[in-house]
Amino acid sequence: MDNTLMIGLSRQMALRQAMDVVANNIANANTAGFKVESLLIDNETAPTAQQDDGPTNLQFVEAWGMGRDFRQGELNVTGRPLDVGIEGQGFFAVTVNGAEQYTRDGRFRLDQTGQLTAHDGAPVLDAASRAPIMLNPSAQATTITDNGTVMQDGVAMGTIGVFEVANLAGLSKQGNGRYVQTDNSDGRNEPQAALSPVMHQGFVEASNVQPIIEMTDMMTIMRSYQSVSKFIEQAEDISRRAVERLGQV
Amino acid sequence: MRSLMTAATGMQAQQLNVEVISNNLANMNTTGFKRQRAEFQDLLYQNVQQMGTASSDAGTIVPTGIQVGLGVQTASIYRITEQGSLTNTGNPFDLAINGDGYFRIQMPNGSDAFTRAGSFAVSPQGEIVTADGYTVAPGIVIPQGARSVAINEQGQVQALLDGQTNPQTVGQLELSTFNNEAGLEAIGNNLFLESAASGSAATGTPSSPGYGYVMQGFVEASNVNAVTEITSLIQAQRAYEMNARVITASDEMMSATSNLR
């Protein structure tokens, strides 16, 4: 009988985690470049929890990974010259403390020296040289072509790099909309500059959270949780009645 | 339950978003006002199961791991410094800047402030001043008895004095530009201060390369676009409501547990 409670509990633990993930998705519904996530739940066979009177092994519920949906978010027009949205795969690269980080958030700006940076001052990297891009702040017009070349008054100042990551699952989230590549011990998964990236000036990629799906997920999680509570209650009821009846004998 | 706190960060972020939008809308008719945009980013992640750790003796590794996000945070409130539309007023001391640059204002405490709101006036001493009476650098005095004042695109101030036929140049306006305009510190009253983020001011004459030109008889309207602000407001409100629903749902889950008999 204890197993019933433990299986129910394992399901509830997984559902709570799934709820945390849904809450994070909804909280980031307005975060540019955010990619929606879901918890991958599977049954876990537990050899130690064998039922004495039943021949089968018991299956517990366990979360085993996170699924990230890297699908394109909507490109929203802002008209700001230094807002850049990527169409298709790939990430912008910035350097933080000498290490490369990757992001889909293309709301760039100039710092006090005229360097193209992200909101926290991390320099955005050039496609070929992987070095920061210096712009002329007093230029009349800044145009960013579809392949990322930054043109100022007719002069190419650099090319905003879009880097493709071989193993998306190896990206670790840092917060701030940034990822770092963790699965790169042998250099095989080093992100490479995309050959023909497509980006759009004056656009920002919105998060790809779909509110309806998240709200439905949330309701499902909540109701499943409640129904598990119900069966835990019933399991306890059975054991209570068993004790009562045994007492009458 | 993390989801309670996560949804709370979402509600806080959307509340700030609404605050920024309402400030934009409130300043829709403020001369020289530049709209702002709240920018969000995801908060930190908690590693429940680290990706890449060994999952067996045979050397297999956890392919994806479990990283649970803890919500959203505000990255910055960014000022969008695009040109506002120019409105004709006909007032000779209304000056709009078409292009880059700020007027430098000498504050009473001796420091410099910068503004794009060029609705100026003349002080009792004949000096060109802001609506608050602060001198517009470099301090141009209009001689007494001037019949009309003309300011050209290059910022030259010319006064036509009584009894004369040729206007007389009485001063030259200057503009200041910054490497990072968005980094200027707003102090209210349409004034900005130089900061470490903006870089130091570069001063030049209007219409020279890199500087905008001055238009007399115009003011620069705010660059707030009511339609985009209202749509952002709707989005923010719905996002706020959804986060509130997450809190309710998390609460119901906890009550299902606490009501177990």
Question: What letter would DSSP give residue A49?
Answer: G
Q: Which of A17, A40, A66 to mutate to test the interface with B (most CBs of B within 10 A)?
A: A66
Structural domain harbouring A34: 3-70+209-248
**What pLDDT, on the 0 to 100 scale, is given for residue B146?**
85
Is residue A79 located within the same domain as residue A199?
yes
**Cα dihedral value A116, A131, A120, B225, nearest 10:** 30
Contact criterion met (CB below 8 Å) for B116 and B126? no
Is residue A196 located within the same domain as residue A215?
no
**What pLDDT, on the 0 to 100 scale, is given for residue B179?**
87
d(CA A231, CA A227): 6
| Cβ atoms within 10 Å, residue A145 | 13
Is residue A85 located within the same domain as residue A133?
yes
* Type of residue found at B78: Y
Average pLDDT of B222-236?
A: 93
Q: Which helix (H) or strand (E) holds A174?
A: strand A171-175
User: 0.90 cut: is pTM over it?
Assistant: no
Is residue A79 located within the same domain as residue A200?
yes
Among left, alpha and beta (phi > 0; psi -120 to 50; other), residue A150 is beta
Q: Is the pLDDT of residue A52 over 80?
A: no
Closest chain A residue to the Cα of B83, Cα to Cα? A80
Q: Is the pLDDT of residue B59 over 80?
A: no
Is residue A145 located within the same domain as residue A180?
yes
**What pLDDT, on the 0 to 100 scale, is given for residue A47?**
57
The reply to whether B227 touches chain A by the CB within 8 Å rule is no
Is residue A188 located within the same domain as residue A81?
yes
d(CA A22, CA A68): 12
Is residue A173 located within the same domain as residue A222?
no
Give buried/exposed letters for A204-234 (b at 16+ CB in 10 A, else e).
bbbbbbeeeebbebbeebbebbbebbeebee
Is residue A52 located within the same domain as residue A91?
no
d(CA A65, CA A60): 15
Q: Which of B35, B68, B248 to mutate to test the interface with A (most CBs of A within 10 A)?
A: B68
Name the domain boundary from A186, A205, A224.
A205
Question: How many residues comprise chain B?
Answer: 261
**What pLDDT, on the 0 to 100 scale, is given for residue B36?**
93
Domain count across chain A: 2
Contacts of A233 in chain B (CB under 8 A): 260-261
Q: Which of residues 108-167 of B touch A (CB under 8 A)?
A: none
Q: Which helix (H) or strand (E) holds B14?
A: helix B2-26
What pLDDT digit, counting tens, does each position of B107-134 carry?
999 899 999 998 999 999 889 999 889 9
d(CA B56, CA B79): 52
**How many CB pairs below 8 A link A and B?**
210
- From the list B2, B51, B209, which residue is nearest A172 (CB)? B51
Is residue A25 located within the same domain as residue A52?
yes
CA distances from B251 to A29, A38, A39, B255 (A): 21, 21, 20, 6
d(CA A205, CA B238): 19
Q: Is the pLDDT of residue A4 over 70?
A: yes
Average pLDDT of B98-113?
A: 92
**What pLDDT, on the 0 to 100 scale, is given for residue B25?**
96
d(CA B206, CA B153): 7
Q: Which of residues 107-136 of A touch B (CB under 8 A)?
A: 107, 109-114, 119-120
What pLDDT digit, counting tens, does each position of A58-110 carry?
778 888 788 888 999 999 988 888 999 999 999 999 999 888 999 999 999 88
How confident is residue A120, by pLDDT bands cut at 50, 70 and 90?
A: confident
How confident is residue A167, by pLDDT bands cut at 50, 70 and 90?
A: confident
Is residue A166 located within the same domain as residue A180?
yes
Contact criterion met (CB below 8 Å) for B94 and B118? yes
d(CA B255, CA B128): 68
Q: Which of residues 32-91 of B touch A (CB under 8 A)?
A: 37, 39-45, 48-49, 51-52, 62-73, 75-76, 78, 80, 82
Higher pLDDT, A66 or A118: A118
**What pLDDT, on the 0 to 100 scale, is given for residue B231?**
93
**What pLDDT, on the 0 to 100 scale, is given for residue A247?**
80
d(CA A61, CA B109): 69
What pLDDT digit, counting tens, does each position of A216-232 carry?
999 999 999 999 999 89
What pLDDT digit, counting tens, does each position of B16-39 carry?
999 999 999 999 999 999 999 999
Q: Is the pLDDT of residue A1 over 60?
A: no
Is residue A112 located within the same domain as residue A232?
no
Q: Is the pLDDT of residue A194 over 60?
A: yes
Best-predicted range by mean pLDDT (A236-240, B16-20, B98-102, B149-153): B16-20
The two beta strands, B213-216 and B95-98, are antiparallel
d(CA A125, CA A115): 10
**What pLDDT, on the 0 to 100 scale, is given for residue B40?**
92
Do A26 and B13 count as a contact with CB atoms less than 8 A apart? no
Is residue A81 located within the same domain as residue A198?
yes
As a whole number of angstroms, the longest Cα–Cα distance in chain A is 97
- E-strand spans in chain B? 36-42, 45-49, 66-69, 72-79, 86-88, 95-98, 102-106, 112-115, 121-122, 128-129, 135-136, 146-151, 156-161, 168-172, 175-177, 185-188, 191-193, 202-204, 213-216, 218-220
What pLDDT digit, counting tens, does each position of B164-217 carry?
888 889 999 999 999 888 889 999 889 999 999 888 899 999 998 889 999 999
The reply to whether A34 touches chain B by the CB within 8 Å rule is yes
The reply to whether A76 touches chain B by the CB within 8 Å rule is no
**What pLDDT, on the 0 to 100 scale, is given for residue A48?**
54
